[in-house]
């Protein structure tokens, strides 16, 4: 018997099966189009896998959001108020439960990735940490006391306030709700709009990266002040620019201004703000972690 | 047998004994002076209480911080890098454990107050909420998945970034570390320095309160975005100005800009941002909650 996982992102879906995190047998990826077409492709993959490997032991889904994670809600496991109109109000968890007659473990894509990093990656053994992804958007998942953060809805860490020096950076921000929140200033689309070039085409020594690091560092401050995590993991396409890490760490320490007396945020900073140990696999392995019930670490 | 509690604040200590939260038998309060004198007064009280009521079933301490809450640390239960020099490096938990031969449950004053509100107050039955106090300083405690937030250190919610319009408010901020963070702009000392009058002497319709509400609302944003709490409880001396509540709620909704789709932060806002149901008793009842092992809600 095998486990199944779906990394349901806003732009692409990854479906995989395997016997464990170290043994992904097969994987397929396709663009996120309409829910009907996307789900059909996912089912096509899992149908084939079940024919080949036998029935699924469990299925985990890490979904783009916002999603309803309240087990008492009639909309539990649905995608809710996404700007992707075709996906608004779509039942995600229930669809696959009925289709395969199994319980599906469902959470946000970032909570899933956080769970994978805690189970097998950079946060292994930690009870309190955060995973923040900076890509097309900015989103975060986190674990407190060994449990994923759920509440009224789920974390929306990308929308925290940051400060912008309007003279240094006249770009007004790309968030449709808040303009110059963290996501509005630091996600991929903001970089491209500000500089007229996508981030991946900006040279390593472009001034964009100092500004970017400054905004990201500001965005990490509330994570430290509110959650006091043992580690902050930064993933997502923007963080592929690896020169960002030392810059972010430096600005983060600058903004703390000596306030938190702990070696982790001083001499230990290189091991405090880190890339995901699972790299690009964090998302799909997160779906596996959900399926395998690593839910409580 | 009775429970004992110590609310160890930076300016005053409250010690109490009782059979439960609804039955505080005796209580004493005195200013926080040197650790020696302050602990002596506390012991004097508990010695008398034990002579009268019998031995303590348990003792809980909610302490001003920062404190070391890592059970594996040699400094577990100590006060750490406080600006109150006489208290720096003082062993708090261990002192009372040795003195009374019992296990002492120890946490921050704000985590204790949060626990009390979750056990018997405004957050009863909730697994995810925050208690923020705005007084001489700004500090917060919180519960996620039914557990108090602990991590690298403990939350320091008062130091989150807010935005200041320098033309509207030229006051540079009173935080010795960050100047114009939330605490630096919105705690009692900031109000007094900005207006030249202590907050309690400012009239209800003074312009100070609109500004104050704006800063507090900004400070609540990261709490929502990072923790997604079911409720935000605002205590502390500054919040005694009750006209602040409607103003804070209004600015909070303004800053969310429709982003979080949940009735709690729209039509339910009056029940979302609330005063502590236990009022001024939240602190000492928090110490009781710790003693009584309500630690996991």
Q: What is the pLDDT of residue B297?
A: 40
Whether the domain at B2-112+280-292 and the domain at B124-275 fall into the same CATH topology:
yes
Residues of chain B with Cβ-Cβ distance to A262 below 8 Å are 152-153
CA-closest candidate to residue A5, choices A286, A195, A197:
A286
Fold entry, domain B124-275: Nucleotidyltransferase; domain 5 (3.30.420)
* Contact indicator for B289, B119 with CB cutoff of 8 Å: yes
Q: What is the pLDDT of residue A297?
A: 40
Residuewise pLDDT in 10s, chain A (297 residues):
899 999 999 889 999 999 999 999 999 999 999 999 999 999 999 999 999 999 999 999 999 989 999 999 999 999 998 888 999 999 999 999 999 999 999 999 999 999 999 999 999 999 999 999 999 999 999 999 999 999 999 999 999 999 999 999 999 999 999 999 999 999 999 999 999 999 999 999 999 999 999 999 999 999 999 999 999 999 999 999 999 999 999 999 999 999 988 999 999 999 999 999 999 999 999 999 999 986 444
Contact: B222, A153; criterion CB under 8 Å: no
ipTM for the complex shown: 0.95
pLDDT 10s digits, B82-130: 888 999 999 999 999 999 999 999 999 999 999 999 999 999 999 999 9
Contact: B230, A264; criterion CB under 8 Å: no
Q: pTM of the predicted model, to two decimals?
A: 0.95
pLDDT 10s digits, B228-258: 999 999 999 999 999 999 999 999 999 999 9
pLDDT 10s digits, B3-51: 999 999 988 999 999 999 999 999 999 999 999 999 999 999 999 999 9
Q: Is A154 on the interface with B (CB under 8 A)?
A: yes
Domain definitions of chain B by residue range: 2-112+280-292, 124-275
Contact: B221, A154; criterion CB under 8 Å: no
3-state secondary structure (DSSP) of residue B3: strand
Q: How far is CA B232 from the centre of its chain?
A: 12
Q: How far is CA B24 from the centre of its chain?
A: 20
Q: Which residues of B159-188 are buried (b: 16+ CB within 10 A; e: fewer)?
A: bbbbebeeeeeebebbbeebebbbbbbbbb
pLDDT 10s digits, A211-241: 999 999 999 999 999 999 999 999 999 999 9
Contact: B150, A157; criterion CB under 8 Å: no
Torsion of CA B190, B196, B201, B204, to 10 degrees: -80
* Candidate from B148, B227, B255 with C-beta closest to A149: B227
DSSP string, A121-159: STTTT-SSEEEEEESSSEEEEEEETTEE--SSS---GGG
Q: Is A151 on the interface with B (CB under 8 A)?
A: yes
Domain B2-112+280-292, CATH: 3.30.420.40
Q: Is B253 on the interface with A (CB under 8 A)?
A: no
Looking at the complex, report in whole angstroms how far the Cα of residue B118 sits from the nearest Cα belonging to chain A: 14
Q: Tell which B residues from 111 to 140 touch A, by Cβ distance under 8 Å.
A: 127-128, 140
* Candidate from A218, A223, A255 with C-beta closest to B226: A223
Instruction: Summarize the confidence of residues B280-285 as an average pLDDT.
Output: 95
Looking at the complex, report in whole angstroms how far the Cα of residue A130 sits from the nearest Cα belonging to chain B: 10
3-state secondary structure (DSSP) of residue A91: strand
Q: Is B218 on the interface with A (CB under 8 A)?
A: yes
Q: Is B151 on the interface with A (CB under 8 A)?
A: yes
Q: What is the pLDDT of residue B296?
A: 42
């Amino acid at each position: 018997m095998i486990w199944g996982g779906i990394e349901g992102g806003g732009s692409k879906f990854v479906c995989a099966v395997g016997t464990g995190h170290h043994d992904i047998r097969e994987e397929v990826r396709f663009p996120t189009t309409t829910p009907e077409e996307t789900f059909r492709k996912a089912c096509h993959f899992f149908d084939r896998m079940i024919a080949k490997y036998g029935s699924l032991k469990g299925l985990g889904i890490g979904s783009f959001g916002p999603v309803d994670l309240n087990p008492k809600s009639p909309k539990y496991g649905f995608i809710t108020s996404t700007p992707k109109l075709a996906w608004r109000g779509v039942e995600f968890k229930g669809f696959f439960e009925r289709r395969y007659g199994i319980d599906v473990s469902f959470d946000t894509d970032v909570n899933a990735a956080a769970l994978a990093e805690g189970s097998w990656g950079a946060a292994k053994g930690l009870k309190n940490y955060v995973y923040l992804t900076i890509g097309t958007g900015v989103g975060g998942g986190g674990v407190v006391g060994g449990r994923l953060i759920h509440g009224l809805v789920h974390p929306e860490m990308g929308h925290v306030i940051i400060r912008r020096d309007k003279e240094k950076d006249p770009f007004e921000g790309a968030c449709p709700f808040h303009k110059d929140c963290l996501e509005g200033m630091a996600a991929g689309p903001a970089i491209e709009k500000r500089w007229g070039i996508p981030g991946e085409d900006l040279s390593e020594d472009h001034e964009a990266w100092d500004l970017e690091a400054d905004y990201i560092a500001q965005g990490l401050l509330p994570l430290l002040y509110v959650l006091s995590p043992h580690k902050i993991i930064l993933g997502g396409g923007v963080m592929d620019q690896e020169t960002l890490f030392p810059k972010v760490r430096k600005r983060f320490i600058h903004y703390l201004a000596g306030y938190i007396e702990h070696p982790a945020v001083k001499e230990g900073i290189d091991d405090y703000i880190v890339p995901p140990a699972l790299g690009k696999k964090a998302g799909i392995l997160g779906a596996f972690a959900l399926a395998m019930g690593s839910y409580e670490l």
